[in-house]
Amino acid sequence: MAYAHTAGGTRYRFPTLADLLAKASPARSGDELAGIAARSSIERVAAQIALADLPLKVFLSEHVVPYEADEVTRLIVDQSRANAEVFSQIDSLTVGEFRDFLLSDAATGDRLAALAPAIMPEMAAAVSKLMRLQDLVLVSRKISVVTRFRTTVGLPGRLSTRLQPNHPTDDPAGIAASILDGLLLGSGDAVIGINPVSDNVATLTTLLRLIDRARTRFAIPTQSCVLAHITTQMQAMAQGAPLDLLFQSIGGTEATNASFGVSLSLLDEAHQMARSLNRLPDAPDANIMYFETGQGSSLSANAHHAVDQQTLEARAYAVARHFKPMLVNTVVGFIGPEYLYDGRQILRAGLEDHFCGKLLGLPMGCDICYTNHAEAGQDDMDALLTMLGAAGVNYIMGVPGSDDIMLHYQSTSFHDALYLRSLLGLRPAPEFEAWLATGPLKQLSVQALLNA
Amino acid sequence: MTTPNEKPLQDLPQTPVILSGAKDPCLVSMDRTGSDLGNREAPHISNEAATHPEAKLDLRTLTPARVGLARTGSSLTTTDVLDLALAHAEARDAVHATLSLPTFPEEIERRGWLVGAVKSAAPDRTTYLRRPELGRQLSPASAEYLESWISLPNDPEIVIVIADGLSALAVDRHAIPLLDALQPLLPDWWAIPVIVAEQARVALGDPIGQILKARLSIVLIGERPGLSSPDSLGAYITWQPRPGRTDAERNCISNIRAQGLDYATAAERIAYLCREAARLQLSGTAIKDDPRLQLP
């Protein structure tokens, strides 16, 4: 089905829904790279006007990635069909009216939470394209998505952090030094999550044991994760490694996930395996998955089906919500300038991802970050950090001095988290806050963490 | 180039306001949870940490990470903000550096390797940064050059590609020492072509491997510069290189540099992955790292 709008005496036609969404997307280098972006500013706004008039119902029948060719589309359709009754509350709205509804007083946090399962990722992406940054912040702010493992993350008035103590050779002492540094600055209540240099069972097990022993000895209310490939984590689990959260990078198409070496059935299998570890006997339904995403991964894997990168990112959230994850993290500026060119594009993408994730019912965090080949710097990150704090982001990263010495990019520092907590009066997760109040920090040292 | 992170701690400028007179640089690390340092802003952080035994141990000796930074209020001090800015400036400059030509390939040739030189389809750095697909294709002239390159007695088992990637600085510093370490580990190394590639991405090894009919490619490439590591080299192993290979079909060894993975260990891992790829007739996530090469 074709869509069109006349602006300035010119008739702009958009032959497919995917084309309409791509042309309506605020400018970014990845869509330009894919050759699907609007060719002029007027064409972009014409597409946005046409998109505003589009009934939400259209998304039920027109799929941006073919149903037959893609298991993510099939998952999205299944989710939608299972929640058809809930969707009937908004099925008369156009995309533009949906924006107005989201911003209205009628759209309370409870109402949006109830609607979340019925919202397709393409609908969330579509409405976000009609929203300014302040809209994205304001609507996100209404939605609380609370998840629990040993800590409770996402409560209003709280800001958690992933302590990210990466080391260029996976050296346990170096990692322990960064863990200590983070704990002393109140970081680590979402997860202590290490990106390993070496993707193998021995490293994974060594690092999981390091976190687990320290956590047990000092009664630290947090959870462990080592972000190796999911198949490596499965091997480690089979050998008895103490794994709390199961990690995987995911994308919005079947082919993107294939490029990551995963499929929905593999994720299901790994998820069942992690659940069977029964790490929290008193909370068998605890959230145990940790997913990372980021705009541009599908194009990077040549798996984008000519769909814009922001819509595909939202589709990755449909994969995530199937598993009721503990944490979802959009690693917004990591992928590089060919997808998000500069600070302005990273800022918008971070707020879009957080909004779309929350609207779909996910516990969204954000790795507020940039690489050294992007036209961005610390000032850009401060702007995104502050706006995400106002938007109620569940958690951010905590990296010593914001410099990740293994992954070679800049994220947010322990100090950045303190800044945001101080500025907005935010507190850590309640269990972690209670632990800090018991004065445990004086007992901590690198040796104590290593020898726990 | 010395980054601020690599300075001995004794060289770090003092921060008297924060230190309240303390001269021991070890105390710089830890003196940030005391009662005068922003506990009002961060009430969840215990005062007791300021005096705990770890204050005597310098965390900076254990990791190149920026641990132990002082606080003023909840914020970084001026010194640390400027250290970060300088490191960012160094990394930005590394992104725009170029390979030392022609001395770099000449140096490799002197060590007995068969050396060729190619360019990707990206004509300059700005295009390279915005159009990664051009960095994965050979320029028409380079494709022609490779096709008519010196006739090898047999199709090579392995081709090594040395690519500037996002840090020519990394290649200039580490590619030749790594080749030296690899030489004794690779059978018939003298028959392995070494192709130096400009404005190149990892996947440029695919068309190169295809044209040379290699069974496996080793791409040594400058990784995107980090603040503490503007010169980190990566190695990617791909079985049956040809255009269309995905990242899941490659094995990667990262962070080869003075403060990261040393040349000998990196070379052993590369050789191991090459043997495994040949044994399994594939590369990628199906191969796990050699367990013997792991940490204690």
Same domain, residue pair B113 and B30: no
Q: Is residue B145 part of a domain?
A: yes
Q: Is residue B23 part of a domain?
A: yes
Q: Is residue B92 part of a domain?
A: no
- Among residues B199, B218, B207, B284, the alpha carbon closest in space to that of B243 is found at B207
> What total of structural domains would you count in chain A?
2
Inter-chain touch A373–B95, beta carbons under 8 Å: yes
Same domain, residue pair A173 and A134: no
pLDDT value at residue B229: 82
Q: How many CB atoms lie within 10 A of CB B147?
A: 10
Same domain, residue pair A121 and A218: no
Of A168, A206, A440, the CB nearest to B295: A206
Inter-chain touch B227–A403, beta carbons under 8 Å: yes
Taken as a whole, chain A contains a residue count of 452
Return the C-alpha torsion angle A207, A407, A188, A148, nearest 10.
-80
Q: Is residue B58 part of a domain?
A: yes
Please give the ipTM for the structure prediction. 0.94
Same domain, residue pair B122 and B258: yes
Inter-chain touch B67–A418, beta carbons under 8 Å: no
Helix pair B103-110, B168-182: axis angle to 10 deg: 0
Inter-chain touch B67–A436, beta carbons under 8 Å: no
Q: A64 near A309, Cβ under 8 Å?
A: no
Q: Check if A420 contacts B (Cβ < 8 Å).
A: no
Same domain, residue pair B158 and B204: yes
pLDDT value at residue B290: 57
Residue A67's CATH number: 1.10.220.70
Q: Tens of pLDDT along chain B (296 residues)?
A: 333 333 333 332 332 223 222 333 322 333 333 333 333 344 444 444 444 455 445 899 999 999 999 999 999 999 999 999 999 998 998 899 999 989 999 999 999 999 999 999 999 998 999 998 999 999 999 999 999 987 677 789 999 999 999 999 999 999 999 999 999 999 999 999 999 999 999 999 999 999 999 999 999 999 989 887 889 999 999 999 999 998 889 999 988 998 889 999 999 999 999 999 999 999 998 887 655 544 33
Instruction: From chain B, pick out residues whose CB is under 8 angstroms from the CB of A433.
Output: 44
Q: B271 near B206, Cβ under 8 Å?
A: no
Same domain, residue pair B38 and B177: no
Structural tokens at position A39: 């060719």
Same domain, residue pair A124 and A264: no
Chain centroid, CA B159 distance in Å: 20
User: pLDDT tens, A379-407?
Assistant: 999 999 999 999 999 999 999 999 999 89
Same domain, residue pair A354 and A206: yes
Q: How far apart are CA A81 and CA A61, in angstroms?
A: 11
**Per-window interface: B 11-50 vs A, CB < 8 A:** 30, 32-33, 38, 41-42, 44-46, 48-49
Q: B46 near B81, Cβ under 8 Å?
A: no
Same domain, residue pair B246 and B140: yes
Inter-chain touch B44–A433, beta carbons under 8 Å: yes
Which H or E run includes A116?
none
Same domain, residue pair B29 and B136: no
Same domain, residue pair A126 and A163: no
Q: B251 near B278, Cβ under 8 Å?
A: no
Same domain, residue pair B23 and B65: yes
Q: How far apart are CA A157 and CA A389, in angstroms?
A: 10
Q: A41 near A3, Cβ under 8 Å?
A: no
The residue of chain A nearest to residue B129, with distances taken between CA atoms, is A338
Q: Is residue B172 part of a domain?
A: yes
Q: What are phi and psi for residue A290, nearest 5 degrees?
A: -130, 115
Q: How many CB atoms lie within 10 A of CB A59?
A: 23
**Per-window interface: B 168-227 vs A, CB < 8 A:** 223-227
Tell me the Cα Rg of chain B.
23
Residues 6 or more apart whose Cβ sits within 8 Å of residue B72: B17, B18, B37, B38
Structural domain containing residue B64: 4-9+16-76
Paired strand residues for B198: B119
pLDDT value at residue B224: 87
Residues 6 or more apart whose Cβ sits within 8 Å of residue A176: A165, A210, A214, A446, A449, A450, B62
Structural tokens at position A187: 């970081």
Of A33, A202, A378, the CB nearest to B131: A33
Q: How far apart are CA B69 and CA B76, in angstroms?
A: 7
Relative to beta strand B233-239, strand B250-256 is: antiparallel
Q: Which one of A118, A142, A166 terminates a domain?
A: A142
Inter-chain touch B49–A199, beta carbons under 8 Å: no
Q: Which one of A121, A142, A163 terminates a domain?
A: A142
Most B CBs within 10 A among A403, A436, A438, hence the mutation to make, goes to: A403
Same domain, residue pair B264 and B170: yes
Same domain, residue pair A433 and A323: yes
Of B48, B129, B226, the CB nearest to A337: B129
pLDDT < 70 regions, chain A? none
Q: How far apart are CA B212 and CA B206, in angstroms?
A: 10
Q: b vs e for B62-99, b when ≥16 Cβ sit within 10 Å of the residue's Cβ?
A: bbbbbbbbbbbebbbbebbeebbeebbebbbebbebeb
Structural domain containing residue A40: 3-142
Distance from CA of B40 to the nearest CA of A (A): 9
Q: Which one of A93, A108, A142 terminates a domain?
A: A142
Structural tokens at position B208: 């190169």
Q: How many CB atoms lie within 10 A of CB A302?
A: 13
> What total of structural domains would you count in chain B?
2
Same domain, residue pair A331 and A226: yes
Which H or E run includes B70?
none
Same domain, residue pair B46 and B121: no
Q: Check if B78 contacts A (Cβ < 8 Å).
A: no
pLDDT value at residue B20: 28
Q: Is residue B211 part of a domain?
A: yes
